[in-house]
């Protein structure tokens, strides 16, 4: 683990939700480094036990500046993402200043989520959109209190350009682990750009981060081609903290306070694939995703007057 060389307390007074903080992964290192900067980190795990274990380790591994609060939910369903939003709201009722959508996974065989989507798409895209949607008002409240936009970072991958934009997210045809992953990361990147355009000037920046290839639990859990790639590639891959460098820049760099709709590597902002920068594909994915979230909201009304699935962003600045 690389220790933060010069933490400067840049996140003091800020609360950030980081999803997928299992020790050994990019989310764990992100939580640790944000904590080192003084942040209160809502530290997400799939279960309460997992989140508690991460908090226990972070308390030991961090420099003592941060506060870690365990939050749990299974992010394979829209309901799970909304449950996590509720827990975050209870923990930080006055607002949050950052959301790191880091949790992700790959699968060696086709599985369907509780909502009927192929699992890779369900976790890497649908849950990310559902969680972000459900937290928009809380992010805007955080921005209002801080006087500058709150920041959302979505974890993408270098290989997003090999993804295809599918319209049936249950993938009824032949299944490929790698293609399902490429598609999910491209879809989420397209969504990221579309959302960033819509939220521009409304108190929330939205950026994508590609961590590069790093050692984590990803390959072993995914198995199949990813398992093999991780096994063979691991001597060449960096520590998970290297993969969190881009997110840390987005969350802490004053120079990136209003930068939105960008694609960032650990060291700089770059151009993603041409496909991902195609505006009509961005809008297609955005509309399909919003239709899904609205349909879920209509089928599962959460409380009278709850309109969180239909956010009307308040103009900010």
Ligand X SMILES: NC(=O)c1ccc[n+]([C@@H]2O[C@H](COP(=O)([O-])OP(=O)(O)OC[C@H]3O[C@@H](n4cnc5c(N)ncnc54)[C@H](OP(=O)(O)O)[C@@H]3O)[C@@H](O)[C@H]2O)c1
Q: How far is the CB of 92 from ligand X (least distance, A)?
A: 19
Q: Is 64 exposed, middle or buried (0-12, 13-18, 19+ CB in 10 A)?
A: exposed
Cβ neighbors of 198 (< 8 A, separation 6 or more) are: 286, 313
Q: CA-CA distance, 124 to 257, in Å (whole number)?
A: 25
Q: How far is the CB of 259 from ligand X (least distance, A)?
A: 20
Which of 99/157 has CB closer to ligand X? 157
Q: Is 269 exposed, middle or buried (0-12, 13-18, 19+ CB in 10 A)?
A: middle
Residues contributing to the site for ligand X (CB under 6 A): 20-22, 24-27, 46, 50, 74-76, 102-105, 123, 155, 157, 211, 213-214, 216-218, 221, 240, 243
- The residue whose two tokens read 């009304």 is 301
Which of 24/144 has CB closer to ligand X? 24
Which of 11/123 has CB closer to ligand X? 123
Which of 83/290 has CB closer to ligand X? 83
Q: How far is the CB of 216 from ligand X (least distance, A)?
A: 3
Q: How far is the CB of 238 from ligand X (least distance, A)?
A: 9
Joined tokens for residue 277:
């920068």
Q: CA-CA distance, 179 to 131, in Å (whole number)?
A: 24
Strand-strand pairing, 204-209 and 40-45: unpaired
Q: How far is the CB of 316 from ligand X (least distance, A)?
A: 28
Q: How far is the CB of 131 from ligand X (least distance, A)?
A: 11
CA 81, 86, 87, 88 torsion: positive or negative?
Answer: positive
Which of 72/139 has CB closer to ligand X? 72
Q: CA-CA distance, 266 to 211, in Å (whole number)?
A: 6
Q: How far is the CB of 190 from ligand X (least distance, A)?
A: 16
261-265 long-range CB contacts below 8 Å, 24 or more apart?
A: 261/192, 261/193, 261/196, 261/197, 261/200, 261/206, 261/207, 262/207, 262/208, 263/156, 263/189, 263/207, 263/208, 263/209, 263/210, 264/207, 264/208, 264/209, 264/210, 265/209, 265/210, 265/212
Q: How far is the CB of 84 from ligand X (least distance, A)?
A: 9
């Amino acid at each position: 683990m690389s220790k933060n060389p010069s933490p400067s307390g840049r996140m003091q007074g800020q609360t950030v939700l980081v999803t997928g903080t299992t020790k050994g992964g990019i989310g764990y290192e992100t939580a640790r480094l944000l904590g080192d900067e003084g942040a209160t980190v809502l530290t997400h795990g799939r279960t309460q036990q997992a989140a508690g274990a991460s908090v226990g380790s972070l308390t030991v591994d961090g420099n003592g500046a941060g506060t870690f609060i365990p939050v749990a939910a299974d992010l394979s369903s829209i309901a799970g993402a909304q449950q996590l939003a509720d827990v975050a709201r209870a923990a930080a009722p006055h607002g949050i200043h950052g959301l790191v959508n880091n949790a992700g996974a790959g699968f060696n065989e086709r599985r369907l989520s509780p909502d009927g989507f192929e699992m890779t798409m369900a976790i890497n895209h649908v849950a990310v959109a559902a969680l972000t949607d459900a937290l928009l008002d809380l992010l805007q409240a955080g921005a209002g209190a801080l006087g500058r936009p709150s920041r959302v970072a979505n974890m993408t991958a270098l290989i997003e350009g090999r993804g295809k934009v599918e319209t049936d997210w249950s993938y009824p045809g032949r299944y490929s682990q790698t293609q399902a992953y490429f598609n999910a990361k491209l879809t989420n990147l397209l969504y990221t750009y579309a959302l960033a355009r819509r939220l521009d000037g409304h108190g929330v920046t939205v950026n994508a981060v590609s961590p590069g290839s790093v050692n984590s639990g990803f390959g072993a859990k995914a198995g199949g081609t990813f398992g093999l790639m991780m096994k063979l590639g691991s001597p060449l891959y960096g520590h998970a903290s290297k993969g969190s460098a881009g997110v840390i820049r987005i969350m802490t760099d004053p120079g990136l306070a209003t930068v939105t709709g960008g694609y960032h590597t650990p060291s700089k902002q770059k151009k993603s694939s041409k496909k991902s920068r195609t505006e009509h594909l961005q809008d297609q994915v955005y509309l399909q995703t919003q239709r899904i979230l609205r349909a879920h909201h209509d089928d599962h009304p959460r409380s009278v007057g709850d309109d969180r699935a239909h956010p009307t962003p308040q103009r900010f600045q």
